[in-house]
Amino acid sequence: MRSLTFLNGIIFIGLLAFGCAKDTLPTEDVYPDTLMGHWDIEGGGTIFFEGESVSASAGCNTLFTSVTVDENTLSFSMFASTLIGCPEEEGNREQELAALLDSAIFTYELEENKARLFNLEEVLVLTLVRPVNVDLVNNWELISIRTENAISSSILDTDTGITFSADETISVQTACNSGGGTYSTKDQTVTLNSLAFTEMGCEQERMTREEEFTQALNQINSFTILRKTLTLEKDGTVYLTLQLDE
């Protein structure tokens, strides 16, 4: 009897450990062990690593160049920049970032949601933080639509938007009519179902814009959220861009 009790205890502990392991997400699933992707820069600005290219911004111009990543070493080439006139605060920060990053060589370390960049004298130069993205379940305002001819914004888009609710229903306001349906998500894919709209007549410009919006909406199969911006996409191509309605 004692042996049987001991064996049952081992089985119980094993099952308990298995259950705990299953419920605990590995750290690498929460904080990717890579420098690639979007980061916020402590002190102001953003930076984006993608393959062998990198871009940075202080909110006005975009700085861009190529980068070589060798183990924990970063080697930037000379930065180029778009040439928009900027407000003084953004312009000054942009110049600071350009001076820090241009043709620079850094070592870096990753720790959870942060990356620290050190110069060759091992002095901390920049701290990067993974951006906090809002949830899909929110009210979203339309910014732009991909049409046959271009990506466009319009004054008619005022009050146009989408609300994703926690009960997997969706409400839509177009330039003319309103409607809704249901949605489902898995990872970064999204499927919209049973969309239906009111049939109120509006002036032709509004009807045309509504058609562009609903046609784009019917194309999408995935989404991306970066900070407070939602893009609805088809196979990686952005069809609708929306911002958080605050």
114-157 residue pLDDT tens: 999 999 999 999 999 999 999 999 999 999 999 888 999 999 99
pLDDT mean over 34-39 = 94
In sequence order, the 6+-apart residues with CB closer than 8 A to the CB of 201 are 176, 207
Q: Do domains 30-129 and 139-244 have the same CATH topology?
A: yes
**CATH class of the domain defined by 30-129:** mainly beta
Q: Which pLDDT band holds residue 9 (cuts at 50, 70, 90)?
A: very low
Question: When comparing pLDDT for 76 and 18, which is higher?
Answer: 76
Sequence spans of domains, the chain: 30-129, 139-244
Greatest distance between any 2 Cα atoms in the chain: 85
Return the structure tokens found at 138.
């929110």
231, HSE (Cβ side, Cα atoms, 13 Å): 12
In sequence order, the 6+-apart residues with CB closer than 8 A to the CB of 53 are 64, 65, 66, 67
- Residue 79 to residue 196: CA distance in whole angstroms: 49
Q: Which of 191, 18, 37 is nearest to 113 (CA)?
A: 37
Tell me the CATH architecture of domain 139-244.
Answer: Beta Barrel (2.40)
